């Protein structure tokens, strides 16, 4: 089984081994050498799954822990993966993950993560082995997918980031609702106070793969999305939209259910804003209508250019030069 190590970017202390399925509580103290008073002594709770190569992170402290500069939120839990960066508190004290195989016959495996980091040959050997293992995993996933599905295979390999929704669908911590046809999950990077995704269990890659036989499925997705919105706190004062991105970045067709306050730290740039406030966001009813009328969904030419449009308030249509200015303005439209 691989071993898991939490490695400080600034090398202020030795890597900390996270034992498989063992709960580790870290924060200010001698183990991390963090003296920052804003960092609680019990800032985060970490639990490694060495077989899957991930670590769950739960924020315990009152000041923000963040993953890739996205705040976790007190009491919330996120999945920390190799290649990502965990900031212990207030965007400071960064850490990365290392997973490596322990084998008694290999001299390189007896090296600590810090030794590997400073030995180019050992690091190259470790990276090569990891690449070979990932390649084998991807090939295996593709073989399983090809044998069990009748649809055209996805272009992206199984381990590609764009396939992330397929993992989230199976994650009980992400699920809000599920039935025999669909599952509702929380958006990992919500662009509003309430932001969910409704996904079918059937493997449908994107809007272009939809046909007239999918109309009833999409109607069911819409009903589930509307019910989810009605049951959320404050639904009486919030307005919701249900729709699809014209050119989604994530594979597997998904219906956005998003409140129109757009009050979220994850809403950061023009692309985010325009993807939900221009015609790039296609209403659920319009998608269903196209399938009923034409048997397919037609995405307008030049849809990607819509993401470059000027920043305009979705309520009063006032134009703003920057996202901070726009976000400051839209507060006047927030429900009290």
Active-site residues, by number, are 254
Strands 195-200 and 66-67: unpaired
Distance between CA 139 and CA 224 in Å, rounded? 35
* Cβ atoms 42, 141 nearer than 8 A: no
Could you give the count of Cα atoms lying within 13 Å of 275 in the half-sphere of its Cβ? 18
* Cβ atoms 253, 204 nearer than 8 A: yes
Q: Which two tokens stand for residue 262?
A: 């757009």
**Helices 284-294 + 215-230 axis angle, to 10:** 170
State whether residue 233 is helix, strand or coil.
coil
Runs of H (alpha helix) within 207-256: 215-230
Q: Single out the residue of 251, 206, 283 nearest to residue 214, CA to CA.
A: 206
Q: Which two tokens stand for residue 277?
A: 């406030």
């Amino acid at each position: 089984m691989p071993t898991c190590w939490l490695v400080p970017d600034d090398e202020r202390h030795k890597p900390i081994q996270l034992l498989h399925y063992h709960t580790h509580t870290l924060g200010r103290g001698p183990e991390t050498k963090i003296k920052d008073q804003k960092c609680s002594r019990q800032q985060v709770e970490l639990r490694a799954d060495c077989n899957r190569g991930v670590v769950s992170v739960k924020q315990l402290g009152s000041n923000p822990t963040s993953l890739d500069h996205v705040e976790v939120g007190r009491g919330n839990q996120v999945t920390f993966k190799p290649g990502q960066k965990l900031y212990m508190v207030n965007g400071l004290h960064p850490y990365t993950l290392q997973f490596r195989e322990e084998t008694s016959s290999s001299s390189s495996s007896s090296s600590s993560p810090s030794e590997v980091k400073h030995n180019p040959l050992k690091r190259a050997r470790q990276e090569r082995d990891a690449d070979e293992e990932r390649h084998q995993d991807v090939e295996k996933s593709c073989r399983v997918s090809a044998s069990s599905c009748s649809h055209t295979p996805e272009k992206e390999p199984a381990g590609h980031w764009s396939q992330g929704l397929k993992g989230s669908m199976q994650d009980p911590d992400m699920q809000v609702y599920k039935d025999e046809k669909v599952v509702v999950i929380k958006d990992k990077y919500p662009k509003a106070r309430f932001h969910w995704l409704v996904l079918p269990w059937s493997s449908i890659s994107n809007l272009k793969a939809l046909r007239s036989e999918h109309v009833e499925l999409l109607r069911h997705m819409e009903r589930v999305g509307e019910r989810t919105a009605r049951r959320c706190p404050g639904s009486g004062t919030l307005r919701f939209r249900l729709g699809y991105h014209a050119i989604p970045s994530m594979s597997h067709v998904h219906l956005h259910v998003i409140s129109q306050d757009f009050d979220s730290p994850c809403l950061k740039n023009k692309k985010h804003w325009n993807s939900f406030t221009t015609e790039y966001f296609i209403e659920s009813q319009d998608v269903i209508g196209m399938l009923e009328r034409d048997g397919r969904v037609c995405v307008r030419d030049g849809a990607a250019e819509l993401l470059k449009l000027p920043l305009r308030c979705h309520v009063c249509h006032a134009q703003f030069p920057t996202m901070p200015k726009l976000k400051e303005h839209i507060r006047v439209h927030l429900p009290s």
